Amino acid sequence: MNLYEKIKNKEEKLSVIGLGYVGLPLAISFAKKVEVIGFDINKAKVEAYKRGVDVTNEVGSKNLRGTTAFLTSYEEELQKAKFHIIAVPTPINPDKTPNLDAVIRASKIVGRNLTKGSIVVYESTVYPGVTEDICMPILKKESGLKCGIDFKIGYSPERINPGDRLHRLEMIKKVVSGMDEETLDIIAKVYGLIIEAGVYKAESIKVAEAAKVIENSQRDINIAFMNELSIIFNKLGIDTQAVLRAAGTKWNFLKFTPGLVGGHCIGVDPYYLTYKAEQVGHHSQIILAGRKINDDMGKYVAENTLKQLIKANRQIKGCKVLVMGITFKENCPDIRNSKVIVIINELKEYGIEIEAIDPLADKSEVQRECGIKLSQVEDVTDVDAIIFAVPHEKFINISLKDLKKIYRDDKLVLIDIKGTFDKKEAEDLNYLYWRL
């Protein structure tokens, strides 16, 4: 009986290391089928989960309260598992180089608690080679075990889309890889227990690592193209969304739209690929060009907010601007690498007073990480402009007529970043309306 059969029969346990936006849904989903240990170094987060509070908003507090997964912040508990999934963040440093601190730390923790006959699978986004060249030696050193004999490794990139209720973990095809055929087969079958969409067996670990990093790089480049078009059409006095609607009538036109690119994936992963490319002597041109455009969009939106305020004959210093939505994307509480914060910081430099609301973001986290105090919409009055930055579903019932009540007077500057409202209706209501 191999490890898959033992896990399936609940004779061996599976662990998930890192209980964030990726790891928590994994742990909860696997716990419906097998014995699961969920581990995170953040004791406060684990305690919140135990109380049934889902800080990620990805699985729901009801599912969290009903799970059989054993959640812990004590690493020794990992010794009871034989199949380990490492799902920790892989951000970038201020100089845009990969920050592998979390994945290295997780490897050390798992290594210290690794037992013979185990498989360790990495889900964290990395550049090709990290699993085998960096992580595997750490597992060997910390455990004193031999890779390929005492334990095996694999890689299966996460594809979770935070805030997306349609493309859930179970409904997205899973790419899996292993260091040999036997390991690959076991990993594929274990994930097959929960992935309804099926699994795809990659030819090697490096292929799987590369596949993940180009998925987000491709999307980043396509959005960068849309953002550049938006900049051009704005200068030409043409509505970008009208152009995209017209072009979209052709069957093979790719329907991307302009917007802010933040978060822990699309705005980060391309730098992992370009870093590795530099190591082998290739300087990226297209990928880095796309990154520069998208990294600059927060500042671009802030500049156009200032232009609209000037059109409204506002004295810039002392203006009050309401920012609606501060997370990196809609229907998600994650503020990591949010470009909305870039907009806010840019406007603050001009002496503009900022009010910000977000029904999903954690108030204490926003205050701690960004120095921004979130308000309630009913407490905000007398604003000179509104930046509708993140179209959360919880904002869906807010109308243009509702927004009018928040302004100081009838000079209605509205920056609708993603074009949520109808442009003609806004202009008919005398809004000074601008969108990407």
Handedness of CA 175, 180, 186, 190 (dihedral sign): negative
Annotation says 147 is catalytic: no
Could you say which DSSP state residue 249 is in? T
What DSSP assignment string belongs to 266-334?
TTTHHHHHHHHHHHTT---SHHHHHHHHHHTHHHHHHHHHHHHHHHTT--STT-EEEEE--SSSTT---
Contact of 220 with 266, CB cutoff 8 Å: yes
Distances (CA, A) of 283 to 71, 256, 270, 286, 320: 44, 26, 13, 10, 43
d(CA 45, CA 284): 39
Tell me how crowded residue 226 is: count the other CB atoms within 10 A of its CB.
Answer: 20
Q: How far apart are CA 321 and CA 299, in angstroms?
A: 15
| Alpha-carbon distances, residue 13 vs 23, 74, 325 (angstroms) | 16, 16, 40
Token code pair at residue 418 = 């993603």
Strand duo 151-155 + 174-178: pairing: antiparallel
Provide the 8-state DSSP code for 169. Answer: G
> Contact 115/149 with Cβ under 8 angstroms?
no
**Bridge pairing between strands 385-388 and 353-357:** unpaired
Q: How far is CA 236 from CA 11, 79, 239, in A?
A: 66, 63, 9
Question: Which strand ranges, in their side-by-side order, compose the sheet holding 320-324?
Answer: 353-357, 320-324, 385-388, 412-416, 431-434
Considering the candidates 135, 147, 265, 332, report the single residue annotated as catalytic. 265
326 close to 254: Cβ distance less than 8 angstroms: no
What residues are paired with 72 via a beta bridge?
A: 39
State the catalytic residues: 265
